Structure 1
């Protein structure tokens, strides 16, 4: 479990694979309309209504799908995220990474459950993340690091 303070710029922050941010084309942002979060293949947009300066985030990584959190949450949404590198970033828009997380199960498709409570500067978020399956064969970028100079 990690507790992270995330600076909010432009009303949201991202959860994404450390290297694979290609092809989003604002798909995750559009998918988040009217929800706490939205996803594309490699990225999740997490919305923070009322554009607070910062929010608290509790990030929990599980070996399998956890039971739904029984806390008092205003919103919750479950999504999938592909992580070809096995490294997750909590990214602040225009301010870089608030946290880098090496996922213990390494590369794969992860389930992500995003919870939000509160409003404005009193918002808090809980993200549960768990490994679901290996990456699909057409998404398995075995030579990912080999392509880098």
Structure 2
């Protein structure tokens, strides 16, 4: 199985974490995902995943892979990973740097839905992350994307 999308970038993390979230769900989560990430590779709330990252060195490697189905964990060269779930009502995700905005924007080929997410971390000379996503199920009715787009067209 091959990934549908692969995106590689370098992040400059200034505040000890970065966030993966649906593009329209920017109301924060009252610290829920950050608390869940304590002593973990990552933490989640419904619409947001917080990933603790070292600010020193400020250069952090990130690779995002979107798969057609759940891939096997890449455990051989990674220090650890955590598997989570993320609701994506718009089918568009961003990687957001605190106080800097979106560093990466991805349109998910499978569109809106509930996604499985696996976050891998490795720390050596530099810190590196691999985030794998795959579509799992349709959104629950309460997550209908009309709530996000409806007011733009009326």
Provide the rounded CA distance (Å) in 2 between the counterparts of 1:43 and 1:52: 25
Q: Give yes or no for the alignment of 1:112 onto 2:128.
A: no
The list of structure 1 runs, each at least 4 consecutive aligned residues, that deviate by more than 6 angstroms after superposition, is none
Q: CA deviation at 1:141?
A: 3.1
The answer for the alignment partner of 2:3 in structure 1 is none
Please state whether the residue corresponding to 1:65 is helix, strand or coil.
coil
Please state whether the residue corresponding to 1:146 is helix, strand or coil.
helix
What stretches of structure 2 of length at least 5 have no aligned partner? Answer: 1-5
Normalising by the residue count of structure 1, what TM-score does the alignment of the two structures yield? Answer: 0.93
Q: Deviations over 1:47-72 (max 9, x none)?
A: 11464312010100001111111431
Normalising by the residue count of structure 2, what TM-score does the alignment of the two structures yield? Answer: 0.90
Provide the rounded CA distance (Å) in 1 between the counterparts of 2:12 and 2:106: 17
The answer for the alignment partner of 2:81 in structure 1 is 76
What stretches of structure 1 of length at least 5 have no aligned partner? Answer: none
Aligned residues: 148
1:1-149 paired onto structure 2 within 5 Å: 1-22=6-27, 24-49=29-54, 51-119=56-124, 122-148=126-152
Root-mean-square deviation (CA), in Å? 1.5
Q: CA deviation at 1:36?
A: 1.0
Q: CA deviation at 1:23?
A: 5.8
